[in-house]
Amino acid sequence: MERYASQALDTLAISRGVRELLSMHNIGQRLFAKFVLGLSQGTVSELLSKPKPWDKLTEKGRDSYRKMHAWACDEAAILLLKSLIPRKGRKNKII
């Protein structure tokens, strides 16, 4: 994530890409919110559906997009999150 610290990111492209990856891998926003961003599902929904321009974001908002971008660029991280999807019949449910 540090490598993105000094550059402005395209929040619209990141949010579109993340939404596409979540859909393609059948990963819910709640799981993504909890394990990747450490935010609530509602907050992540807002970040993905209404991305603000980079220059209008606070540092905390920028960090969220940096984390999203780093996750989207890391196939291993995507597959790891996918492995955490609760399956029907499993006893350990992720809340």
pLDDT tens digit sequence for 20-32 = 999 999 999 999 9
User: Structure tokens of 54?
Assistant: 């980079």
Does some domain include residue 73? yes
Does some domain include residue 32? yes
Has residue 15 got a pLDDT over 60?
A: yes
pTM value is 0.84
Does some domain include residue 25? yes
Does some domain include residue 93? no
Instruction: Give the count of domains, the chain.
Output: 1
Q: Which domain holds residue 73?
A: 10-83
Has residue 84 got a pLDDT over 60?
A: yes
Q: Which residues contact 57 (CB under 8 A, 6 or more apart)?
A: 11, 65
- The answer to whether 76 and 70 have CB atoms below 8 angstroms apart is no
Which domain CATH number covers 22?
Answer: 1.10.260.40
Closest C-alpha among 85, 91, 88, 75 to residue 34: 85
User: Rounded to 5 degrees, what are φ and ψ at 94?
Assistant: -90, 125
| Cα–Cα distance for residue pair 36/48, rounded to 1 Å | 14
Has residue 5 got a pLDDT over 70?
A: no
Does some domain include residue 16? yes
